[in-house]
Structure 1
Amino acid sequence: MNRLKNKIALITGGAKGLGASIAQHFFNEGAEVIICDINIDKAQKTANKLNGNAYYMDVSNSSSVQNVFRKIETKFKHLDILVNNAGINGFEKRQDLLDERIKINNQQSKEFSETGKIESHFDVTVNMSDEEWITMISIYLNGTFFCTREALKIMNNINKGSIINMGSVLGTTGGPSSPHYSAAKAAILGFTRATARELASRNIRVNAIAPGYIDTDMTSSLGDVKKIVKSGTPMKKFGEVEDISWAAVYLASEEAKFVTGQTLSPNGGFVMSQ
């Protein structure tokens, strides 16, 4: 308790899932939380439970981000913690893509075991539209940059703060059906290291969390893909949101005062080195 007492913490994508869990844990540790999300109704409900504040924010839109941070600076005067969590998985309303992933994966396994050759292919990149690519990069990479830039306009005034970026194991391993997601997450890890070096002189720490597969609304639509993931995970299961939330609490707290430019990766062994 009180590991984050008197801290002001902003969580993007905080209305549900990982973001809401992080906000809850921050609140339990004494922080005043600010929930930012495009779903303002759910954001407000989450904030109300935590005696916090909610703002509509489209992280892919720099004007939207700037407007919210101006309001926050006026109201709170300072900001101690930023969690860049907002995101999508790219499969929203595209069950056909998930079904195709399962189909191709099974076909490749069968073909290789029977003939030693693979005749079926994912062909995701060649068929990806400009809109799919740009949307993913805009929300994750641009959003992380936009929010970090505006947060620094507040944090730089006190030369102190903690920024936590949400990466992914796919930013390291890559995903055969998620080139845009993998690219965005890999870029976020590079951005984390670069800003950590830049901001160390200001005593602003920047770290990343690279979750493995976690049971959330975002992964609930994966269907039989879950079986494939679990079979390739040493612990043979998905993680829980608390596994990520406690990592965020640690990185935001004074317990991590000597930690910057690092990536914590709760992933059940899916990746042994991050």
Structure 2
Amino acid sequence: MTLDLTDKTVLVTGGTRGIGRAIVEAAAHAGANVAFTYRSSVETATELVESLGGPDKALAIQADAASADDAIASVQAVTAKWGRIDGLVVNAGITKDGLMIRMDADAWQSVIDTNLTGAFHVAKAAYRPMMKQRAGSIVTISSVVGVMGNAGQANYAASKAGLIGFTKSLARELGGRGVRANVVAPGYIETDMTAGLGDAADGLKGQIPLGRLGQPDDIAAAVLYLLSDVSTYVTGHVLHVDGGLAM
């Protein structure tokens, strides 16, 4: 078997930048029909659709990751266009970092609402179609921070740790229907989110056995594995893609 997604339909939340965009592009190059959500940049989303082969192969959906209504509408748009949803990648997320003593309730709640409750909304929307198909793969994007914790990121760490328990519960609920649910936990990846690290990046590299920050394509490759038929006996697993940081 190969990482071939031909004839599969995949929805990626937060798909226009960084890790999300790498996943969208990798899935499309593997043959999938790909839908992705985005929050604000219509121009970027339109350009991405065209680069993936146009509206026959790709669909851009403007959505708020924290909105239940938008989650339902996103899944419905996918099934209306292609008749099914084979893969769901829950990638959309935000950070509002700060030491907890200075963190206000809004900074806490907005991160939880987007990163964790948003995952609940979109997975719930995909739950019934995948059950009816008796097939499907859900991949949530957690973080090494959700495994190890990190000073100044109590809200983010809580949301990403919550995704792990949430996804394992989905795996137990849906396994009997042939639907799998797994987690990818990235380490420090070179994206817009880590671009501001500056000299601190060198210190991080010293903590990583492989000695480098990861690339978005490293995460996309792991997600493709979990979406593909190569991983049909893998569910409830947390796949660390972190250069050995959290071993």
TM-score of the two chains, using structure 1 as the length reference: 0.84
Match of 1:68 in 2: 74
Partner of 2:17: 16
Which residue pairs with 1:5 in the alignment?
A: 6
CA contact (8 A) 1:12 1:84 kept: yes
Q: Look up the SS of the partner of 2:77 in the other structure.
A: helix
Aligned to 2:180, what secondary structure does the other structure show? strand
User: CA separation in 2, counterparts of 1:44 and 1:221?
Assistant: 27
Structure 2 matches for 1:165-176, cutoff 5 A? 165-176=140-151
Amino acid at match of 1:70: Q
Deviations 1:91-116 (Å, cap 9, x if unpaired)?
5xxxxx6xxxxxxxxxxxxxxxxxxx
1:132 maps onto 2:107 in alignment: yes
Shift of 1:265: 0.8
Equivalent AA in structure 1 for residue 27 of structure 2:
F
Q: Distance in 2 between matches of 1:191 and 1:78?
A: 23
Structure 1 position 203, deviation (Å): 0.4
3-state SS of paired residue (1:164): strand
Query: Could you tell me whether the CA contact under 8 Å between 2:7 and 2:32 is conserved in 1?
Result: yes
Partner of residue 156, structure 1: 131
Q: Distance in 1 between matches of 2:78 and 2:225?
A: 24
Cα drift, residue 64 of structure 1: 1.6
2:167 equivalent to 1:192: yes
Moved more, 220-229 or 16-25: 220-229
SS in 1 for 2:132: coil
Q: Does 1:228 align with 2:210?
A: no
Q: Counterpart of 1:63 in 2: which secondary structure?
A: helix
- The one-letter code of the counterpart of 1:222 is L
How far does residue 130 in structure 1 lie from its aligned partner after superposition? 0.8
Of 89, 107, 117, 2:95 maps to 89
Q: 53, 56, 64: which one pairs with 1:58?
A: 64
Contact 1:16–1:46 under 8 Å retained in 2: no
2:51 to 49, 52, 72: 49
Gap regions ≥5 residues in structure 2: none
Determine whether 1:181 maps to 2:182: no
What's the secondary structure of 1:15's corresponding residue?
coil
Moved more, 210-219 or 223-232: 223-232
* One-letter identity of the residue aligned with 1:270: L
Rounded Cα–Cα distance in structure 2 between residues aligned with 1:148 and 1:242: 24
Is residue 2–residue 28 contact of structure 1 (8 Å, CA) maintained in 2?
no
Range with bigger deviation, 215-224 or 76-85: 215-224
Over the aligned positions, Cα root-mean-square deviation in angstroms equals 1.4
Unmatched runs of 5 consecutive residues or more in structure 1: 92-96, 98-123
Aligned residues: 241
Q: Separation in 2 of the partners of 1:56 and 1:89?
A: 20
* Whole-angstrom CA distance in 2 between matches of 1:249 and 1:2: 7
Aligned 8 A contact 1:168 1:212 in 2: yes
> What is the alpha-carbon distance in structure 1 between the residues aligned to residue 200 and residue 40 of structure 2?
27
Looking at structure 1, the residues matched to 81 and 112 of structure 2 have their Cα atoms a distance apart, in angstroms, of 31
Partner amino acid, structure 2, of 1:7: K
Task: Report the AA paired with residue 221 of structure 2.
Answer: W
**2:7 touches 2:31 (CA, 8 Å); kept in 1?**
yes
Cα contact 1:40–1:55 (8 A) shared by 2: no
